[in-house]
Amino acid sequence: MSSLNINECKCEEEFGDFILNVGRQHFACCKLHETYRCIGENLFSGWLEESADLWRRNVDTLSIGRPRTPEDGKILLAAYADYCAPQAA
């Protein structure tokens, strides 16, 4: 994953332009400011039908942007480790 920088996004849209899941974590994305923020976990049941491959693609998309707070970046890294990283045999 690329390094995560901090950006002050002042968007009025609480959920941004779209929402991406990484496992049970949900991230709201702002295309204008190229930022994301964690909005919670297990809020929407759709993540149960998604695959680890999709979550890895979502992490790639999120990594292009910047977390709105340091905590958002930490949550994304933890979600990647929990749901996307290759597991040791």
What is the 3-state composition of the chain as percent helix, strand, coil, each rounded to the nearest 5? 35, 25, 40
Question: How high is the pLDDT of residue 55?
Answer: 96
Q: Is the pTM of this model over 0.85?
A: no
13-47 burial, b at 16+ Cβ within 10 Å, e below that, comes to eeebeebbbbbbbbbbbbeebebbbbbeeeeeeeb
For 34, the enclosing helix (H) or strand (E) is none
In contact, 18 and 35? CB cutoff 8 Å: no
Extents of the domains making up the chain = 18-83
Question: How high is the pLDDT of residue 10?
Answer: 56
Per residue of the chain (89 residues), what is the pLDDT tens digit? 233 333 455 555 566 788 999 999 999 998 888 999 999 999 989 999 999 999 999 999 999 999 999 999 999 999 999 998 876 65
